[in-house]
Homo-oligomer: A and B are copies of this chain.
Amino acid sequence: MEEAVFNDYPPQLSPEQQDYLVTATKDWAIQNGLAVRPSPAILPANADPNRVLATNAPVTLFPSPFPRACFEEAQALQTVYNQLYAAITCNEEWLGSIIKDLIDVDDFVANLWKTHLAVKQEGYVQNLSLGLYRSDYMAHVTPNRAPSLKQVEFNTISSSFGGLSALVRSLHAELLATPLSYPPHPLLKSGTPPDNTTVETLSGGLAEAHKAYGPSKSLPDLPLCVLFIVQDGERNVFDQLALSKRLTGFHKIPVFRVKSNQILDQTSVPTANPARPLIYHPPHSPESAFEVTTVYLRAYYSPDEYTSSRDWEARRHLERSAAVKCPSVLNQLAGCKKIQQVLAEPAGPDHLTSFLNGVDPAIIARLRETFAPQYDLSAGGQGRDLALNPETAMKHVLKPQREGGGNNIYKAEIPDFLRAMPESDWKGWVLMELINPAANAENVALRNDGEVLRGNVISELGVYGTVLWENTGKIIHNDQGGWLLRTKGKEVNEGGVAAGFSSLDSVLLY
């Protein structure tokens, strides 16, 4: 599973070359907003009481080679994936039939479902939904065949690093264009990373939802805005600000940021107005009020963010409002790993074809090709055998219903992990065959504490898309554009870039 392209890539760096590249990279990062706030691990909070300091996002010093055919296939399929997840979200019955298996083993899924049911009972007042998605892939290497595109996961909430991904592409493109930045190497002379329009695509989706919301539902009319719901203490703020900058600067749409723990203080849904507009009351201008057309969640994707019933109340409050949610609770649930596993089932009903009604079967077949084999752990099923057998476990990863990495169980750890858990909980997990990335890929990472690490790496390609639809299934806007490469040291199994053990990267297509 070696790929020849990596044999002498990236070129070795002399200490002076490395010093030059590191200085150029860390300065470029701050000059251009390719930045994060430092974590307590690299800077104690009391060293920066006013939280003014920033550092470079973790990045690779070189772009990584990536197979052009896989890159182009991922782009070609994104609007079909957008359509698929919109259709799944519209089919509450089908979605519910899968979710119901998870409810008694997964509190988080259960609470999301309950939130949906509560709003359903009251009646939804907004029939539009917005998705900003990122579909993650690896280039899967098999002997004597061209690499193929395999999906790692599909993100339906808070798809992050769109803002920074375009910047890391610009960083590498600029280094490639600067004489002597890199030691001579044929691959580094061969071209430049392709354009990266993530910021335009994602903010374009938010702008479409804003427009589709229509006029104010308040009496008298209120000015309209988009609301970013963010985590308290967010360190990846510059990634988010790249999107809001485009929304305000290009689309001329006011954007405000509300921390998830302040939603109930700073927003309201007037009881007297059956249209249930979501009103934002800026604490910095208490006499003003805005009506929120679109709620963009960069928070509330993970169970640990719901620290009390107040958080669930806030989530329900947003859900029942007239604002377009990005995503709705149902759309977030559609991102459960279980859904991806059911879609990938080779036997049984052809879900893909029913959801992608009208799509060319050849395209559906190509989309199906991106699925890695994945299994539930039901008694007597193939998945259970593969997971418990130490030999076959080595080729698999065990995933809960979460996004964002940090929760997966890998290889040899799978059998013991399962046996330590009541069998009744196993249905909360999905077993997926590991994708085989090129074994000899290397790169050099500049961490956000300035340490430089060289070694074997695994890269994951994310492709961004956005879709706006009506609950009837009618699609209003469906667009793809932009990409992200995340590259991590091979000894590290997880891909959470923000945690610092993974780097933002870009691609050189071959």
Could you list which residues of chain A lie within 8 angstroms of chain B, going by C-beta atoms?
14, 16-17, 19-21, 26-27, 30-33, 35, 38, 43, 47-56, 174, 178-180, 183, 223, 237-238, 241-242, 245, 248-249, 254, 282-286, 288, 448-451
A20 to B31, CA, bound (A): 23
Closest to A241 in B: B31
Q: Are A43 and B50 in contact (CB under 8 A)?
A: no
Q: How many whole Å from A465's CB to the nearest CB in chain B?
A: 25
Q: Are B238 and A30 in contact (CB under 8 A)?
A: yes
What B residues does A52 contact at CB under 8 A?
26, 55-56, 448-450
Q: Are A35 and B31 in contact (CB under 8 A)?
A: yes
Q: Are A16 and B283 in contact (CB under 8 A)?
A: yes
A249 to B30, CA, bound (A): 17
Q: How many whole Å from A504's CB to the nearest CB in chain B?
A: 15
Max chain B CB contacts within 10 Å: which of A21, A242, A284, A448?
Answer: A284
Give me the 3 closest cross-chain CB pairs, A-B, nearest first: A50-B450, A20-B284, A31-B33
Copies in the complex: 2
With A238-B30, A238-B31 in contact, do A180 and B54 touch (Cβ < 8 Å)? no
What B residues does A285 contact at CB under 8 A?
17, 180, 183
A38 to B55, CA, bound (A): 11
Of B16, B33, B223, which one neighbours A284 at CB under 8 angstroms? B16
Q: How many whole Å from A44's CB to the nearest CB in chain B?
A: 8
Closest to A38 in B: B53
What B residues does A16 contact at CB under 8 A?
283-284, 286
What B residues does A31 contact at CB under 8 A?
33, 35, 238, 241-242, 245
A179 to B43, CA, bound (A): 34
Q: How many whole Å from A479's CB to the nearest CB in chain B?
A: 25
What B residues does A223 contact at CB under 8 A?
179
Of B33, B49, B286, which one neighbours A30 at CB under 8 angstroms? B33
Of B183, B237, B284, which one neighbours A180 at CB under 8 angstroms? B284
